[in-house]
Structure 1
Amino acid sequence: MNATVEIHALTKRFGRTTVLDHAGLRIGPGVTGLLGPNGAGKTTLLRCLATTLAPDGGRITALGLDPARREQRTALRRRLGYLPQDPGFYPHFTVFELLDYVAILKELTDRARRHRQVRRVLEEVELTDRARAKVRTLSGGMRQRLALAQALLADPELLVLDEPTVGLDPEQRMRFRALVSRLGEDRTVLLSTHQTEDVAALCDHVVVMAGGGVVFDGTPRGLAEVAAGKVWICDEPPAGAVLRWRTAEGRHRVVGERPAGAVPAEPAIEDGYLLLLGARAKAVA
């Protein structure tokens, strides 16, 4: 894999808490999904990559640039788009004014070219009809699409998206997947999510984080195969099973040891993810 991003032994502490513990990662062109429970270090890693947070140790190289060096950090910022987990907005701006302001910050100084960029990203996130609306009047889903629009300004080569589908309804989520899939054809997209179905639908590369480090790095199919031979379907709820749930058909899906009377089931990404985190939790305990 030709790496767009290389992360080596990345470490970040907040007080006495180690949030990233020598995390390492290589990301190439296409769409990479970053999975992990709350507190795994996903947002901190993305903030370090987006240059909004300086690590305490380790090294990042992105697009051939080293963000630890001031001049290269500025050059990297020109070439990346970042959607933070909690984007801040000026509520009294209109949607167009806000994007125009962000475009100026991204050094799009030619007014005609800048406005073409603003109209382009509004169309991509389907907010053209809200261009003159005040930001404070937007719904949560619209604000999330606005946050994505500002990340797409200046046509970045590297997109870093932290929980981009939060607040989107099912139709908007499907449209988002189509947009990101298209973007990943000619650039590098790294997105964190709690939605394993987003990873299955979008990503050709998936990374799982836990405890500040990377515990899986491979393909979505590879993550599903973590649970190969360990996923079962049975008619009665098995006693003592930790990872199980009732399906829409009224049967019980079990991840782990085979219950009595159970038949094998095809593993999915969610099964591999749950088994991976469950095994790690036992090892830590």
Structure 2
Amino acid sequence: MTMAVDVRALSKRYGQKRVMDGLDLEVRPGVTGLLGPNGAGKTTLLRCLATVLAPDSGEMRIIGLNPADGAQRTELRRQIGYLPQDPGLYAHFTSAQMLDYIAILKEMTNRRQRAEEVRRVLTEVDLTAQSNVKIRKLSGGMRQRLGIAAALVGDPGFIILDEPTVGLDPEQRMRFRTLLSRLGETKIVLLSTHQTEDVAALCERVIVYRAGQVIFDGDPTGLAWQAGGKVWSTAERPVGDEVYWRTTEGRYRVVGARPHDGEAVEPTVEDGYLRLLAEAEEEVA
């Protein structure tokens, strides 16, 4: 099996809006973070990679298979784990029944094998005690963890996660990071999120996606330094259009031009991301 995702000249349009515009992308084993503002086209890209949506043009080769070919697409779907923003869990199923159903869809025909797989993925997301609980009775965080478990059924080589940490408490997020970092040692993990702290903690590579185009592709440190020399601490509320917020120390953190009494501070991934988007908006204007 070729452990790689290769996308060439991928395009997708909804009416007059082009949400992907000749996109080229390569993803290799490891955890890759996908950042971008709402409406950037991230979910459309993930749905194309998950073979849920067909692009208008372009080519994809995912772990050596061509999703445009029907037979290869069927085989590919056995190798993909996908968590959409809305996992579509059936409320009247128990957790174990839902995962068993996913295993059947992945053509796991041996009942004992399916039962073992269900136990395995429930353990991975710490839901063993809820295996026989109806989904409608689970908390929001538990349902999110069940969606993650569903994406892991069948031990896929390519795992696609769209906003996976929504609804997770801090302890659950730490457990999720541990799980993802382990998976990334041997699998391709593509993680779309608005949580820059998850990207900083998990991802060896981060892609910033805006208006159907990649505007940054590098490591989290490189993204943080997109705001190098442009992050300041000041005692006075800034005047103008710069991005700023008041910190717990009572000072203001400013991303942009230096205030008259600004003291330089080291940028974070969030700072670099905000500055990169601001510069992209300035170019359009």
TM-score range, shorter chain: over 0.9
Distance in 2 (alpha carbons) for counterparts of 1:211 and 1:3: 28
Match of 1:180 in 2: 180
Match of 1:242 in 2: 242
Q: How many residues align?
A: 284
Distance in 1 (alpha carbons) for counterparts of 2:100 and 2:86: 20
Match of 1:107 in 2: 107
Query: 2:35–2:194: 8 Å Cα contact kept in structure 1?
Result: yes
What amino acid is the match of 2:55?
A: P
Match of 2:253 in 1: 253
Match of 1:153 in 2: 153
Match of 2:225 in 1: 225
1:139 aligns with 2:139: yes
1:136-187 deviation line (CA, Å, top 9, x unaligned): 1111111111111111011011100011011111111111111111111111
Match of 1:171 in 2: 171
What amino acid is the match of 1:130?
A: Q
Distance in 1 (alpha carbons) for counterparts of 2:176 and 2:196: 15
Post-superposition shift, 1:238?
2.1
Match of 2:162 in 1: 162
What amino acid is the match of 2:160?
A: V
Structure 1 residue runs of 5 or longer lacking an equivalent are: none
Match of 1:279 in 2: 279
Distance in 2 (alpha carbons) for counterparts of 1:25 and 1:282: 25
TM-score between the two structures when normalised by the length of structure 1 = 0.97
Runs of 4+ in 1 over 4 A off after TM superposition: none
Is the partner of 2:227 in helix, strand or coil? coil
1:208-232 deviation line (CA, Å, top 9, x unaligned): 0111111111111110111111111
1:234-281 deviation line (CA, Å, top 9, x unaligned): 111222142111111111111111111111110111111001101111
Is the partner of 2:9 in helix, strand or coil? strand
1:91-131 deviation line (CA, Å, top 9, x unaligned): 11111111111101111111111110000000000110011
1:72-108 deviation line (CA, Å, top 9, x unaligned): 1111111110001111121111111111111011111
Query: 1:121–1:153: 8 Å Cα contact kept in structure 2?
Result: yes
Report matched runs for 1:1-285 at 5 Å: 4-285=4-285
What amino acid is the match of 2:22?
A: H
Query: 2:196–2:269: 8 Å Cα contact kept in structure 1?
Result: yes
Query: 1:12–1:18: 8 Å Cα contact kept in structure 2?
Result: yes
Query: 2:3–2:64: 8 Å Cα contact kept in structure 1?
Result: no
Post-superposition shift, 1:3?
6.8
**CA RMSD of the aligned region, Å?**
1.1
Query: 1:241–1:254: 8 Å Cα contact kept in structure 2?
Result: no
